[in-house]
Structure 1
Amino acid sequence: MAKLYFRYGAMNSGKSTALMQVAHNYEEQGMQVLILKPQVDTKGGGELVSRLGVHRKADRLIRPDMDVFEVVREASQATKLACVLCDESQFFTAEQAEQLFMVTVDLNIPVICYGLRADFSLRGFPGSTRLLELAHTIEEMKTICTCGRKAICNCRKVNGQFVFEGEQVAIDLENDVQYVSMCPQCYFRARRAFYAGRK
C-alpha cells in the first residue's frame, strides 16, 4: 500500500537536499519520479534550491487553485511513477494536502512531502497542519541552533533585525527577508527583546 510521508524540519535541516537525494536514488534504479513545488515559493523560480548549492528543476509548479490529484493522475498516464516528491509543502493548501493523500489511496503512488511545520510566529501553515493530520508517516528532520541546542523554531529577520509580526508567507532571501533556525530558548529571548524594544 502506498503511503503519504511528511518530513518536516526547521530551516537548514536539509529538506530540499534530502528530496533531491531521494529523487536521485529512484532515478539511478531506472524509476520515474514527479517533483512538485508550490508556485508561491518563488525562490529559485522553477527550481528546487538547497543551501548546499544543489539545485534541480521542478517537474510542475503548483498554483493554489490546481487539483494536485489530477496533476499526478495525468502524469501517471504518460509514465509509470514510482513516487511523487513535494518540496516546500507548507505552501500547499489544506485541500491540496488532502489531494496528495488521495494519490496514495486511489492511485497507489507513494508521496513524500518536505516542509516546515510552523511559521515564524509558531503557527501552523494550512498545508503542514493537514499533512500532520493525514500522513501515514511523520518524520522530523533535525538541525541545530547557534547555541548548539536542537532548533525547532524559524525566526524571521528583515534587514538584519528579528521580527515577530507580519504576513505568514515571506520568501527567504527575497526583499531582505532571511530565516534563522533557533531553539525555543533563543527564539523567545529574541521575541521578548523585540516586544520590549517597542514599548
Structure 2
Amino acid sequence: MGFFKVTVGVMGSSKSARAIAEVQNLKVRNLKTLVLKPALDTRDGGYICSRLIKDQVKADILLKSDESLKINEIIANNYDYIVVDEFHMLSEEQIKELYQISAISTTNISMYGLRMSWKGTPFPSAALALGYADEIEMIKMVDKDQNPLSHHIKYTNGIPSSLVQESETIVVGDLSATSYTTVSKVDFYKIYQMLGQVEE
C-alpha cells in the first residue's frame, strides 16, 4: 500500500514550486516517478511551472477531464511515486482512480493544488482528495493582521466577478484585465456582503 498525500494552499503559496522540487528530489534518489497534470491547466502547457522559480518539469501525462487513468498499466510499471500538480482541476473519478492506485499498489501519490474556487466553495475534487488523504499539508499564508489567507476573489476590469456567474460567461470589457486576489474569509465575505451576494 502506498500513501496518499495532499498539499493545498492559495494562489502564490509555492504549490507548484514544491511539486517541482519534489520531482527533482525523487529523480536524484533514482525513484521511478510519474508526473501528471490536468490538460485543463493550459497556462504552462505540458510543464509544471512556478512564478517563484525558473525550474520546470515536463508532465508525463496530460490528463483530459473525461479520460480515465490506465490503472493496471500504471501499476505494472512499478512507479515509486506519482506527483500531480493542480489536482483540483481533475475530475472526482480521476481522484478516485489515483486513490485506488495507492490502495492496491506500493505507489505513493503526492498531489498539489487549491482547496477553494474563486466562488468561495471547495472544488469537489479537492474535497474528495482531502477526505482520502493519509497526510495533509496546508501551506499557511497570512495577511498583515495574521488572518489566514484561504479565499480568492476574481476581478474583471477592477470589479469583483459575480458569484453566480458561470465560468464560461463572456464579460463585456477588456478580458485581459482579469486578475485574482488572495484574501482571508473575513475579507471575502465583507466584499460580497457589500455587493449584496451573501446574507448578512
- Superposed CA deviations along residues 28-71 of structure 1, whole A, max 9, x for unmatched, are 11222111111111111111121214332211100112112x1x
Query: Is 1:32 the equivalent of 2:32?
Result: yes
Give the CA deviation at 1:146: 5.9
Distance, in Å, in 2 between the alignment partners of 1:45 and 1:81 is 24
Distance, in Å, in 2 between the alignment partners of 1:188 and 1:115 is 23
Distance, in Å, in 1 between the alignment partners of 2:178 and 2:193 is 20
Which of 75, 88, 97 in structure 1 is aligned with 2:86?
88
* Aligned counterparts, 1:66-105, within 5 A: 66-68=67-69, 70=70, 73-75=72-74, 77-78=76-77, 80-105=78-103
Distance, in Å, in 2 between the alignment partners of 1:38 and 1:132 is 18
5+ residue gaps, structure 2, are: 170-174
Distance, in Å, in 1 between the alignment partners of 2:120 and 2:52 is 26
Where 1:103 maps in the other structure, the secondary structure is helix
Where 2:80 maps in the other structure, the secondary structure is strand
| TM-score, with length taken from structure 2 | 0.84
Distance, in Å, in 1 between the alignment partners of 2:195 and 2:58 is 38
Where 2:62 maps in the other structure, the secondary structure is strand
Aligned twin of 1:115: 113
Q: Comparing 127-136 with 187-196, which one deviates more in the overlay?
A: 187-196
- Superposed CA deviations along residues 65-94 of structure 1, whole A, max 9, x for unmatched, are 2112x1x6435545x422101111111111
Letter in 1 for 2:122: G
5+ residue gaps, structure 1, are: none
Q: Would the alpha carbon gap of residues 129 and 39 (structure 1) be closer, same or farther in structure 2, given more than 3 Å must change?
A: same
Query: Is 1:131 the equivalent of 2:123?
Result: no
Give the CA deviation at 1:168: 5.2
Q: Would the alpha carbon gap of residues 65 and 76 (structure 1) be closer, same or farther in structure 2, given more than 3 Å must change?
A: same
Q: What CA RMSD, in Å, does the superposition of the two structures yield over aligned residues? A: 2.3
**Aligned pair count?**
190
| TM-score, with length taken from structure 1 | 0.85
Distance, in Å, in 2 between the alignment partners of 1:169 and 1:113 is 27
Distance, in Å, in 2 between the alignment partners of 1:97 and 1:34 is 15
Q: Percent identity?
A: 23
